[in-house]
Amino acid sequence: MRATLSTTFRSLTVRNYRLFATGQLVKLVGVWMMFTAQDWLVLDLSGNSGSALGIVTALQFLPVLLLTLYAGTLADRYDKRHILIAANVAYALLAIAFAVLVAAGAVELWHVFVFAGLLGVANAIETPVRQSFVSELVGMTLLPNALSLSAATFNVARVSGPALAGVAIATLGIGPVFLISTVLAIAPVFAYLRMHVPDLIRAAVSAASRKSSGVLDGLRYVRARGDLLLVIVVMSVVAMIGFNFPVTLAVLAKVSFNAGPASFGLLTTALALGALGGALAGSGRTARPSVYTVLLPGVAFAALEVLVGFAPAFWAAALLLVPTGFFMIFFAQAANQRVQLGTDAAYRGRVMALYVLVFLGTTPIGAPIAGWWAELFGPAVSIALSGGISLLAALAALVWQLRRSGERLRLTLRPLPRFSVVAPAEAKAPVS
């Protein structure tokens, strides 16, 4: 057990990373509390409109679509730590203004739309810079573990944030939840200020490389790298269509199961518990994951999402969301690791910006579609349809990769079910 724990949490031996992870955890608990309260607030203000919820989610992520690639060029040109401090200060100030408006009882639906967009601008700058900053905290050797722990931190917040928000909304009301979230939002600023700058591991990048660090240069680099392009294309479909649980679960809880905010928090917590397990499951990885480590969990996630859509009762949906969350994050984390560990340092900011663009920036397209499907066909059908489209994308990528490489997948049932890759020569060898 001691050896397992030391392997799982070895990045925490780095002081700068401990500060980073602690600041992110505190902030993200507040962020998820605010998101949960905001979803419930939108449904109250709009008369349970799934489309309104989809619009708010889209506005949160529209700046990612518009600004993320530019943020990647900033990350490759300037000091990432300074950018992160500025972005987090801006986020905290906006969150305070929004919370005061809600607590005063003066909030209207259009206010929620405006602040969703403004907070999205701060996140659009911060997210790709933060993603590429992790390698400066721990170096490439510990990077797979650090990325897994960062995902675990995110999902600890996803577990605790919605659960705390559900209880707080039921007992205190929506206003106090927003006020609490603003207090937590400033934590990363103090963490970045306390870091020991000389301990940051910064790869040597020539002045010429910095001057040519434009968006188009980054896109050309990815286009020439088929191993990166395949992962990014698959993620663009799955993230846009399949990762819309902030929209679909709120409507599923309130409309399909006639549940309150505490029950909505329970569904989100079930998804997050599985996601936390998926993040920790990949924490022992020490090398770049294979393409099959990305695609097979993607297939499993999409199939489980279809089953969630067909869940006959609230408890069945909650139980199915646990493995769904597990494979969702295992897939997303393996994709993140494959992209980061396969990218040259001079391009990491721009490549991660493109990854964040397809991971989060496609939400303005997918969220309104999911909300519209929920209103037209019902939330259960919306979830199942999202899973079905994601399943087709993951299977298509898997088939393409197998045909391109000539490899085969072999399923072994004992002692535990697992897939293994059979090389072309081995696949053609006669069976004795």
What is the C-alpha separation between 100 and 103, in angstroms, rounded? 5
pLDDT per position as a tens digit, 161-176: 777 887 788 788 888 8
Amino acid letter, 188: P
- Paired tokens of 380: 């259960």
Average of per-residue pLDDT values in the chain = 82
What is the C-alpha separation between 83 and 123, in angstroms, rounded? 12
The Cα angle at residue 242 between residues 241 and 244, in degrees rounded to 5: 85
Q: Which residues contact 167 (CB under 8 A, 6 or more apart)?
A: 262, 265
What is the C-alpha separation between 340 and 351, in angstroms, rounded? 8
Mean pLDDT of 37-41: 83
Span of 118-127, 221-230, 250-259 with lowest mean pLDDT: 250-259
pLDDT per position as a tens digit, 247-290: 788 778 777 777 666 677 788 788 888 888 887 887 667 778 88
**CA distances in angstroms from 264 to 36, 37, 146, 396, listed in the order given:** 9, 10, 31, 33
What is the C-alpha separation between 162 and 266, in angstroms, rounded? 8
SS3 213: coil
- Paired tokens of 428: 């053609």
Q: Which residues contact 151 (CB under 8 A, 6 or more apart)?
A: 275, 278, 279, 282, 329, 332, 333, 336
* CA 393 remoteness from chain centre: 19
**CA distances in angstroms from 183 to 10, 28, 127, 234, 392, listed in the order given:** 30, 11, 20, 37, 43
- Paired tokens of 54: 């989809």
Amino acid letter, 126: E
pLDDT per position as a tens digit, 363-379: 778 878 888 888 888 88
Residue 245, pLDDT > 90, answer no
pLDDT at 431: 37
Q: Is 416 left (phi over 0), alpha (psi -120 to 50) or beta?
A: beta
pLDDT per position as a tens digit, 309-350: 888 888 898 899 999 999 998 998 899 889 888 888 778 778
- Paired tokens of 336: 């993140």
Which residue from 175, 14, 39 is spatially nearest to 106, judged by alpha carbons? 175
pLDDT per position as a tens digit, 295-317: 999 999 999 999 998 888 888 98
**Tally of residues, the chain:** 432
Mean pLDDT of 92-97: 91
SS3 224: coil
* Domains contained in the chain, CATH given: 2-428 (1.20.1250.20)
> What is the DSSP code (8-state) at residue 79?
-
pLDDT at 304: 95
What is the C-alpha separation between 218 and 265, in angstroms, rounded? 39
Mean pLDDT of 215-232: 85
